[in-house]
Amino acid sequence: MHSLTVHTSSHAYPIFIDGDLSQHAASLLMPYVGQKIAIVTNETVAPLYLERWQRIFSELNSDFFSIILPDGEAHKNWSTLNLIFDGLMRHHAERKTTLVALGGGVIGDMVGFAAATYQRGAPFIQIPTTLLSQVDSSVGGKTAINHPLGKNMIGAFYQPQAVMADLGCLKTLPPREFSAGMAEVVKYALLGDASFLTWLEQNSSSITAQDPQALAHMIAHCCQMKADIVAQDEKEQGIRAYLNLGHTFGHAIEAEMGYGTWLHGEAVAAGMVLACRLSEELGYLSAQDTQRVISLLQAYALPTEPPHMSLDAWMRHMQHDKKVQDGHLRFVVLNQLGQASMADHITHTQLHAALANYLPSSTH
């Protein structure tokens, strides 16, 4: 089992990573749960893992109840969030009731936001069941719901008490979801670790075959990178913004196409290629660098071109990006593969050039 610690201003908390955490989950969780537990999951995950975790929580002699939500990014909104609050109120949940997020990134974000706001703050635990949530969204305390005009625009920074990443869950993950998670893995390599980029290139066969040792190393490495960044910049005032590499473009794709049409990781993959194109326009990357990124994403069955969207559509969605400052678009770009920076005051000409090959022919 791998374990590491995330240090934040509010508290430090552990991340446990193992091939079958259920064997010792009860003893690991004992310090982090209260007398009452609310397990929040969705219609897809519940038949697979809810009963297992109910058995684990019963070993802790805690009272528990379950809240089962609809599945999918399209449901990451106020009405679904209220289903969590409805369940908490019906079961007389108190401020010390521990909320458990059992699911992927959508469940983790929503349960974290519910925990941040229920009675002004209740403890919660992340049990991520997808690759994307294990390597990224479950760590660092960013919680949110979507607004029709922008992704993750309503939320809070609120850290969990613990993160339990069971690699066995990945066996039931559809191939498309596994690939989507790999986009966030590639992101870590591009923004801050060129040697990890090489490792991902050399081990693509083992990773796609879900070799346990390769997966454990990869997930632990990503979690450690994020933990180090969050420890330095919990509220995203500086380097934590680099974790949004590809996300400004990616969120625009998700909003334009309808949440859930493109998986988040798929949109981020195409967004990272566009970030590379923009980095080329700024004179940082070569076309060969961008092609190397494209080849790696393709090795993990990820899209490398965005859908055809007009420049007006791109601009309309990106104006709602959280990195906009004083009305100016800001983008995470790459000075070189393995080193990110923030680019302010990107011109319309530079942005158009980065997008040119992907715009409808009438708008070139």
How far apart, in whole angstroms, are the C-alpha atoms of residue 227 and residue 225? 5
As a whole number of angstroms, the distance between CA 345 and CA 302 comes to 30
Q: Which residues are catalytic?
A: 120, 142, 184, 226, 236, 240, 244, 247, 251, 264
How much is the pLDDT for 31?
94
Nearest to 293 by CA among 169, 194, 163: 194
Q: Are 263 and 342 in contact (CB under 8 A)?
A: no
Q: For the chain, which domains are there? A: 2-172 (3.40.50.1970), 175-363 (1.20.1090.10)
* pLDDT tens-digit map of 97-115: 999 999 999 999 999 999 9
pLDDT digits (tens, 9 = 90+) for 294-330: 999 999 999 999 999 999 999 999 987 767 776 678 8
The beta-strand segments (E) located in 116-219 are: 124-128, 142-147, 150-157, 162-166
pLDDT in single tens digits along all 364 residues of the chain: 899 999 999 899 999 999 888 888 999 999 999 899 999 999 999 999 999 999 999 999 889 999 999 999 999 999 999 999 999 999 999 999 999 999 999 999 999 999 999 999 999 999 999 999 999 999 999 999 999 888 899 999 999 999 999 999 999 999 999 999 999 999 999 999 999 999 999 999 999 999 999 999 999 999 999 999 999 999 988 999 999 999 999 999 999 999 999 999 999 999 999 999 999 999 999 999 999 999 999 999 999 999 999 999 999 999 877 677 766 788 999 999 999 999 988 888 999 999 999 998 745 4
182: nearest Cα among 227, 132, 231: 132
Which tokens belong to 238?
């500086």
Question: In this predicted structure, what is the pLDDT of residue 364?
Answer: 46
197 within 8 A of 189, measured Cβ to Cβ: yes
> Residue 326 region, left (φ>0) first, then alpha (ψ -120 to 50), else beta?
left
Task: Please classify residue 211 by burial: count the beta carbons closer than 10 Å to its beta carbon, then call 0-12 exposed, 13-18 middle and 19+ buried.
Answer: middle
Helices (H), 91-153: 105-117, 131-132
Across the chain, the runs of DSSP E, i.e. the strands, are 2-7, 12-18, 36-42, 63-69, 98-103, 124-128, 142-147, 150-157, 162-166, 330-336, 339-344
Total-model pTM: 0.92
Query: From CA 66, how far away is CA 130, in angstroms rounded?
Result: 20
Predicted pLDDT of residue 326: 66
